[in-house]
Structure 1
Amino acid sequence: MRRDVRILLLGEAQVGKTSLILSLVGEEFPEEVPPRAEEITIPADVTPEKVPTHIVDYSGSGRSLPGARPGANVVCVVYDVSEEATIEKGLGPPAPLPLVTMGLQPRVPIILVGNKSDLRSGSSMEAVLPIMSQFPEIETCVECSAKNLRNISELFYYAQKAVLHPTAPLYDPEAKQVCPRPTLSAQPP
């Protein structure tokens, strides 16, 4: 089992990456939100999987993303559900999602995070489903609200789970089928 999990939050400016982190840690929406949160570590004894979790707020330009991504075990791509433009800019080319998945190895799981659900009635899933089908690395999509503390702990739980209990070796999303059980050689190597 892994000794720790490193979560990278990225997305367009003002989508709420920093607010999500501060709402998780402070268990309330911050009155003042800095431009970026410092890296935080959630101790093992307060996480469901009993593994320390490091959360990084990435606020650089998309062009420098490949240099930031290698340390991440999972990437959360955050968009604002109340602004359709952030879905297109944050998830479509030439934005972060294609950069995260562009042939960098190893492939890391991706969680799509629709923040600010308190500002929109209904769901953004119709706009996100076509994107999810394009990228097999996407584990799930979570809609949340940093302001109302809705689905904040679930978001980070799903991110941690994507690393600690990956579906990739078991399910091939491109073939849309369960992978065959690997055969073990009867002879020693």
Structure 2
Amino acid sequence: MRRDVRILLLGEVPARAEEITIPAAVTPERVPTHIVDFSAEQTDEELQEEIRKANVVCVVYDVSNETTIEKIRTKWIPLVNGRTERGPRLPIILVGNKVDL
């Protein structure tokens, strides 16, 4: 059984937030869940380290901006799973943001 889950947020995420930890006691699987996001101020090396530590990646995109949708295919998926020597590919969840615009 997994001791914890780490979710990395990438893409059109607002200003970087502090890491959020959801305690095991409030999750159905009784596993602590950590949500972290990547910010443009971080280096490529820091991003790669966050990807290595992640169990799943959420790519957030702006549904009203075609450029952010295109970046899913051209930037984020290759960045997360582009290197097959890393082993199993990470699950990627796509999150459409700004649907109200």
Cα pair 1:5 1:51 within 8 Å, conserved: yes
**Aligned residues: percent identity?**
66
The corresponding residue for 2:25 is 45
What is the number of equivalent residue pairs in this alignment? 97
Is there any run of 5+ residues in structure 1 with no aligned partner, and where?
A: 19-34, 120-189
1:22-75 Cα shifts (integer Å, max 9, x gaps): xxxxxxxxxxxxx21011101112223221100001113797132321000001
The structure that has the greater radius of gyration is 1
Where in structure 2 are the equivalents of 1:63-102 lying within 5 Å? 64=44, 65-89=47-71, 91-93=72-74, 95-102=75-82
Query: TM-score, with normalisation over the residues of structure 1?
Result: 0.47
Deviation, structure 1 residue 7: 0.2
Distance 1:106 1:63, change over 3 A: farther
**Aligned CA-pair RMSD:** 2.0
1:80-130 Cα shifts (integer Å, max 9, x gaps): 1111111012x122x1221101123342111111112222xxxxxxxxxxx
Is there any run of 5+ residues in structure 2 with no aligned partner, and where?
A: none
**Structure with more contact order per residue of length (Cα contacts < 8 Å, sep ≥ 6):** 2
